[in-house]
A and B are shown apart, each in its own frame.
Chain A
Amino acid sequence: MASMLLTSLRSSPLTSVQAAQFAARSLSTSVHLQAQAKSKKTLAKPGVKNIVLVDGVRTPFLQSGTTYADLMPHDLARAALQGLLNRTGLPKDAVDYIVYGTVIQEVKTSNVAREAALGAGFSDKTPAHTVTMACISSNQAMTTAVGLIAAGQCDAVVAGGVEFMSDVPIRHSRKMRKTMLSLNKAKTLGARLSLLGSIRLAHLSPELPAVAEFSTAETMGHSADRLAAAFGVSRLEQDEFALRSHTLAKKAQDGGMLSDVISFKVPGRDIVSKDNGIRPATMEQLAKLKPAFIKPHGTVTAANSSFLTDGASAVLIMSEEKALAMGYKPKAYLRDFVYVSQDPKDQLLLGPTYATPKVLEKSGLTLNDIDVFEFHEAFAGQIMANLKAMESDWFAQTYMGRKTKVGAPPMEKFNTWGGSLSLGHPFAATGCRLVTTVAHRLQKEGGQYGLVAACAAGGQGHAMVIEAYPQ
């Protein structure tokens, strides 16, 4: 990937504006000036409320089975919510509503939003609900918040998401569950004994959850491998992209860019303040790995896929008026967003390809207007396939009903602080990370528009345009 980045840099030399930005960035005082100097039009629309991201935080994203191993999902969510309160100094009763995403549900806390909110000390008068939409669950939480504010029903909403892969619900088999439920109803000892006697070895085999599509029974990694093959993405390209992600994440981590990460004192363990999945390796090391899903000729490996992660995130979303009235300095405007969905078998992970042109059109922007891209990296092969699809007129015409391609984002603007491959991907927490990162990158780099895009199980996708708040 590094080489690819170089080539793309070579082939599209920095424009003078960008060069000026780079030069200007060293002078921290000139950042504000810079943004205004760009003077692109604002995306505010008459009659539509301006909705802002006040701030966003996340717990460190840890590989599952590590320091968070003994927690429960709502513990992690609580940590993120408390972190948000600390970071913003928000009075707890100022929040009108809480929306939280989760994918793999802990059955004891099926409305994890409410449990976490209560535990985090929010007012028990603040209602909370949980949403689920696979890897775009917290995007859904945020857009739900946007909807509530736009509709005039709320002024301040907390959104977020949590995923806890260290412990997932493993169930008894259906046969066993049926027997056990009947056992509850059995009245006589004889009836109970005969039910117990009906238990066979087959009853005892448990049901494990899998990251597989219900509709097709195909695991996501398998689908990603097929998708990569369909777009002719080579193993080398995937490994290079994975390495790029880790390298950039490491740089961002070391450079203190990941300011959305809060420190979290894990009960019974140490304080955690860093993501622990960032591991830049060498191409040789990556090349050694065997394919993880399609064997022996597949290309998706453990190293070029996102890993199972524990983590939670939270953002504070407000109407601009309310934020200003409370004395906040918002970070960004949340503008147009779209959800898309397509064939869950052969186009499972192509959400960004479908969502990007749609949201750009809605905002009246082109790809060139976007300064910051943050795409969810489920698999290196999935990202590369999306980039190739976005670069293809044939694909746009044949499958998207468009006249021309939308084009692929330039790599120098793309996921420059790492991505899900390296930072980790706690399914329902990733969306808020993407939006917060866009806001932070816009501030740091002086850009005006950012684009978030993500794919999700079920063949769905999402994209959102974010506008820097004038500084």
Chain B
Amino acid sequence: MAGADGDDSLYPIAVLIDELRNEDVQLRLNSIKKLSTIALALGVERTRTELLPFLTDTIYDEDEVLLALAEQLGNFTMLVGGPEYVHCLLPPLESLATVEETVVRDKAVESLRKISQEHSPVDLEVHFEPLVKRLASGDWFTSRTSACGLFSVCYPRVSSTVKAEIRQHFRTLCADDTPMVRRAAASKLGEFSKVLELDYLKSDIISLFTALASDEQDSVRLLAVEACVSIATLLPQEDLETLVMPTLRQAAEDKSWRVRYMVADKFSELQKAVGPEITKNDLVPAFQNLLKDCEAEVRAAAANKVKEFCENLPEDSREQIIMTHILPCVKELVSDTNQHVKSALASVIMGLSTILGKDNTIEHLLPLFLAQLKDECPEVRLNIISNLDCVNEVIGIRQLSQSLLPAIVELAEDAKWRVRLAIIEYMPLLAGQLGVEFFDEKLNTLCMAWLIDHVYAIREAATCNLMKLVEKFGAEWAQNTIVPKVLGMANDPNYLHRMTTLFCINALSEACGQDITTKQMLPVVLKMSTDQVANVRFNVAKSLQKIGPVLDSNALQTEVKPVLEKLATDTDMDVKYFAQEAISVLALA
């Protein structure tokens, strides 16, 4: 293409704008997604003077198109001529920050935050900050909501007069009359606190924080809990008691379970933010209450934090606190009426054993693990089994194996295939810990049964499991216990089972080594090349390609090659294709 460089007349703006206006939404969307290409074709000046005004004027479109536009504009700085001109992008993004759809607005704010960094301090005050002010005093709630996300990015880089204005705007929005705006302000409170000077943090933010934390709407109050983490981190320790703790205590006992849930959910962060002393005096009892909350949602959220909370307790009193305050609550949760609470607990409870050590684990935790292993809900049992390695490190798995086994056998036959899948994935670990004999005796049949599961994902996982077992127990073990059974399936009337033989061979050949592969597996594969089902035949071709590198060249030339050549003339096109592929990969042509 001649003279592409600078020859903008090739691409009259009208044509490009037509594309952005196309009647078909999908085409419009495609064009918007390539807006940078259009801008590139127009050059920086025409992008500034023609394209951006067009975009600013025509912002009434499907939200999906607007979303794409908002995203594009965040990366447009170079296309309008660099940081010097970046403020040209503000008008269209300002309009986008006022639309109704949350996703679009959020994206516009994200882009604005991004390009704010590219503004010089002067441009920030001349162009950016006035935009924030306009949004903050907009009529409809959407623009005010968007403004909340912009204060913190411009605050650090403006003069102190402007800073005072920004603080004032933020204060106003925290007391806005629509809850949507208060929620937005509350959710940005933590972020804004981080850029504020400590004095203003104490004089301004704390009163806003207290007010939001006692808002009439629980959806606002719960967001203040999040801010609490940042604020507590920023304040010096000696101020926490007076400035933060009254509010936090109140939140932990809020009448709305949503707020309590939030406290439970943020508990570890809160614990780190307030430090060890307050944790000991205040958070331990609060945590006990959350573990005993009347709502299952809250108990489950708290149960999830048990391990982290205990880990982060100050070392000098950790064991004592856990044994006297936390463990009694945990014991109760083991027999909770709600399965989600129990399963949340089951996912972390094993972690306590490393904290408490061997003796405490055997005396206090083991009964709980065993109780959960026998729980009626499979998810609880699964969570326990999935975390066995933690306990193993502390007391060894033999202790558990007797109680463990019935649970594993039951889960291995669970009606939900995802549960079966999870168990399969733990087999290699268990096998390694239990040893060959125990495994052969108790688990081998299970592993073989999975090979004929009616769900493909299970058969596939079972195949992979066999490979890992062979890697652990060695080729000889494989030859005696696994290979005969696998090869036996080659005569199964069900072609899916016959194919499983091939998949197993693919997985096992390398681990079993040349001898077993050539002498035992290869004949079976070759025999299957005459199978009446085409899928089996082309999988033979794929298997030969896979195991070829393990075989010696003699076997390749005399046994594999003729079979592949025959398959390459098969009537089925897929068989032909894979046979030819195998021939070329194994360089047998």
Partners in one complex: no
Residue positions of B touching A, CB distance < 8 A: none
Residue positions of A touching B, CB distance < 8 A: none
